[in-house]
Amino acid sequence: MSEKDQLKKQRTQIDDIDEQILDLLKTRKDVVQDVIKRKVENQLPVFVAGREEEKTESFRRKAADRGIDPDWAEDFLRMVMAASRAAQSAEKFPSATEEPKHILYVGGEGGMGSLYRRFTESSGHISYSLDKGNWYQLEEMAPKLDMVIITVPINVSIDVIRRIAPKLKPDTILADFTSNKSEPLKAMLDAHDGPVVGLHPMHGPDVPNLSKQLMVICSGRDSEKADWFREQCILWGMRIIEANPSKHDHVMHLVQGLRHFVALLHGSFMKEYDLNPNEMLDYSSPIYRAELMMTGRIFAQDAELYADIVFANKERRDLLLTFFRHHQTLMEMVENDDKRGFIREFEAVTDFFGKFASQALTESGYLINRLADRFS
């Protein structure tokens, strides 16, 4: 057989194997569909972290036994399991309660409101939506409500809390999705005598499903009355973190306020320098591409939303001013051509970061390789 024919034959063999893989994945998908039904009937969570970790460990070992790279095998299996979770999320969800709960989303037509209303309904609960046009319906809804979740832009959440609280039954749980926690929690406790809980879903409205997403919960008053909502989040596949509101806000000033401001700084300076990101892409290594994409994605979203987050409160603005003063000291380094000073500061940060720096190197390396493989 000629070289060319040999190659053709082997490629046909590869195509066959690839098709067999697809057939097996289809069979697996069908079994998962049955698992979904069972889970909905028995009120079991979509995401089972323990099972996924066990499977990953053993899959890695079995891959290594066959001379297949275990890291690659782990990626493959994780993608397969993520697809199972996505399929489960497209179906009905198990419910955390025997009787359906009545949940009102204030700002229910917005991104987060619509997303959570969809999941609420798929779990058999009854969702209500209040937005600018239908406040007049509140009086009729109020007697039925087990829980009210305020999910409006951060700059109006306090006003909305004060407006709605007096209309609620004393045993309705009042909660909010605001991305800062201390002020809204205080406003809810002041305005409502019943159960109060502060929530912060740590994701945007564009997620395909809630599995592996993080829900921050801050206790307000009688928050055990909202345990069923906590259970419901777990059934949706979420991870829960109980947080102290001021600790949460302290971290958020940096994660949200500073992070988004730095993105503005980066984008705005590119504009100033008149360098189009597309031109930069042509010269970008995968890591710079990743950085550019992190900046770029911010500008695909709503300016007002980001302004509200960055300018959320005085504390956050004060932090930004401290940040600029800190810039000043670093600027002097540049003006004085102080290379030694740069190295000193760099090493001080390395010490401060400790083990995190090597973790960041590994994790970002993973991200960059995936990105390079897919998009370059």
Ligand X SMILES: O=C(O)C(=O)C[C@]1(C(=O)O)C=C[C@@H](O)C=C1
Enumerate binding residues for ligand X (CB under 6 A). 32, 35, 47-48, 51-52, 55, 81, 84-85
Beta-carbon contacts of residue 210 (< 8 Å; ≥ 6 apart): 89, 119, 203, 233, 236, 237, 238
Cα–Cα dist 230/147, whole Å: 12
Residue nearer to ligand X on the CB measure, 47 or 229: 47
Nearest distance, CB of residue 213 and ligand X, angstroms: 14
Nearest distance, CB of residue 207 and ligand X, angstroms: 16
Residue nearer to ligand X on the CB measure, 94 or 257: 94
Nearest distance, CB of residue 147 and ligand X, angstroms: 27
Vertex 305: Cα angle to 163 and 187 (nearest 5): 30
Nearest distance, CB of residue 47 and ligand X, angstroms: 5
- Taking alpha carbons only, the member of 204, 210, 201 closest to residue 85 is 210
CA distances from 122 to 100, 119, 134, 294 (A): 11, 5, 23, 32
Tokens representing 109 are 């037509």
Residue nearer to ligand X on the CB measure, 53 or 227: 53
Nearest distance, CB of residue 288 and ligand X, angstroms: 35
Nearest distance, CB of residue 92 and ligand X, angstroms: 14
Residue nearer to ligand X on the CB measure, 36 or 196: 36
Residue nearer to ligand X on the CB measure, 45 or 107: 45
- How far apart, in Å, do the first and last CA atoms of the chain sit? 37
Cα–Cα dist 341/345, whole Å: 6
- Taking alpha carbons only, the member of 245, 222, 229 closest to residue 170 is 222
Residue nearer to ligand X on the CB measure, 32 or 202: 32
Nearest distance, CB of residue 85 and ligand X, angstroms: 5
Report the residue number whose CB is nearest to ligand X. 84
Cα–Cα dist 247/310, whole Å: 18
Cα–Cα dist 56/135, whole Å: 50
Element (H, E) at 354: none
Length reported for the chain: 376
Residue nearer to ligand X on the CB measure, 51 or 61: 51
